Amino acid sequence: MLAVGRITAALTHGVFWALVGPMAARMSPGNTGKAVGIVSVGSTMALVVGSPLATWLGGLIGWRPTTWVLGVLTIAAVAVLLPTVPSLPPLPKNDAAQTKHHMPWDLISLVLFLMLAVTGVFSAYTYLGLILSETAGAGLVSIGLFVFGALGLLGVTVATRTVDRRMLRGSVHTTTLFLLAAIVGQLAFGSDGVMSVVLIFIAIIVFGGAYGALPTLGTTIFLHAGRKNPDAASSLYVVTYQVGIASGAALGAMAVDASWTAGTLWIMAALALASTLVLALWSRPLLR
């Protein structure tokens, strides 16, 4: 039953995120990035508040009652959506048909950019608890994860306020911050004692802020490139992101299985650099 529930959640997850971006954009014409950013705050808050709260509740009343609580919250979300979300009819077929049979080069470049960025991010993020444990100690893992989530909230807030004006520049800054976080994290692995703790928390702060900004920037830039067919562009974004998550976790696992936890950060550094170059040298000339 747990496996069936997990598979059902996974199937709806992709559909949900493919729809959210275009819906937010169509409800706020002219402010696509801001609308997407506001929606992204919800997912960031779930990381900062929702997951720890669910874990605490599971330890307090057990996981079966906690699962029922989550089910009730899902029903409550539907009850809020039905009367508040306006009707959004399908786009005219002639608009969607323009991007149906071929993918323009700007979207192809963005797929490569996002694939590299997300794969690099999740090669390290998937094993963030282990990275913290080896550099700062097991006792600071929960604090480090909270700091990461809190900075993610700050990152999505900054991205929301600036993305409509600087989506390309903001994306380059974000991947550059991933590279910087990986370098500082490597320094933490090469240090001992208090210096190792200080360095890894600096890396977590930089990493968390950039991680929070990435979905808002990525969704907005995909919708901008595929503005003639935003539903297809959003679906492409979601598929690319999901493949990047799986690929990053697999690459990181290879390093961890080889007892080389620091290797997850080397992978993130290399792919962050590659994604920055793709966006700056290939995507930017096509989208400007």
All domains in the chain, ordered by first residue = 2-282 (1.20.1250.20)
The terminus-to-terminus CA distance of the chain in angstroms comes to 50
The model carries a pTM of 0.84
Burial-class residue 45 by CB neighbours within 10 Å (0-12, 13-18, 19+).
middle
Instruction: Give strand ranges (E) for the chain.
Output: none
Q: 126-169, pLDDT tens digit by residue?
A: 999 999 999 999 889 888 988 998 899 999 999 999 988 889 99
Model pLDDT, residue 99: 45
pLDDT band at 55 (very low <50, low <70, confident <90, very high): confident
pLDDT surpassing 80 at residue 97: no
- At 50, the amino acid letter reads G
pLDDT surpassing 80 at residue 102: no
Model pLDDT, residue 13: 80
